[in-house]
């Protein structure tokens, strides 16, 4: 991931979380190279495949989808199911990452998962070697 210049006056807060998630969703749609209509069709298809209702019996409407993406509309937000399907359809974790970062967490993916697993095992082995040295010194 490329370095990002942070804006001191535009940092995410609990008060801006809806706007920030919607901004991340908008960026994901732009980055996908698909039209909003194509993304909407994919959302409805995946929701139907997994038996998940996004909004009403007829699926997610274009109007509701546009409200999900409207950063000025703080009242209409997709459900957790909606965000999950959205992320799956577009192959992104950015909207979820926005929520997690606000709480001080971090989402890792790809090679970082293996690197974290290796690092944990490395430090476990290092601690065990230290314990072994201490036991040997007692003998």
How confident is the prediction for the chain on average, in pLDDT? 89
Looking at the structure, do residues 29 and 89 belong to the same domain, yes or no? yes
In the prediction, which pLDDT does 104 show?
86
| Long-range Cβ pairs for the range 64-67 (8 Å, 24+) | 65/36, 65/39, 65/40, 66/36
User: Hey, what are 10's tokens?
Assistant: 């535009």
Reported as a single tens digit per residue, the pLDDT across 75-101 is 888 999 999 999 999 999 999 999 899
Residue 65 within any structural domain of the chain: yes
Looking at the structure, do residues 89 and 132 belong to the same domain, yes or no? no
Residue 7 within any structural domain of the chain: no
pTM of the model: 0.73
In the prediction, which pLDDT does 85 show?
95
Residue 18, pLDDT > 60, answer yes
Residue 54, pLDDT > 60, answer yes
Q: Which domain holds residue 76?
A: 14-107
């Amino acid at each position: 991931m490329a370095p990002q210049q942070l804006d001191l006056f535009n940092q995410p807060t609990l008060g801006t979380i809806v706007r920030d998630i919607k901004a991340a969703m908008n960026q994901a749609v732009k980055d996908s190279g698909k039209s909003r209509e194509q993304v909407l069709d994919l959302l409805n298809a995946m929701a139907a495949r997994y038996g998940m209702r996004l909004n009403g019996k007829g699926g997610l409407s274009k109007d509701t989808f546009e409200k999900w993406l409207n950063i000025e509309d703080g009242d209409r937000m997709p459900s957790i199911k909606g965000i999950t399907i959205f992320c799956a359809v577009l192959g992104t974790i950015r909207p979820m990452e926005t929520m997690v970062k606000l709480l001080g967490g971090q989402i890792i993916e790809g090679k970082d998962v293996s690197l974290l697993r290796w690092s944990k095992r490395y430090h476990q082995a290092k601690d065990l070697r230290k314990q072994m040295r201490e036991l040997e010194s007692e003998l």
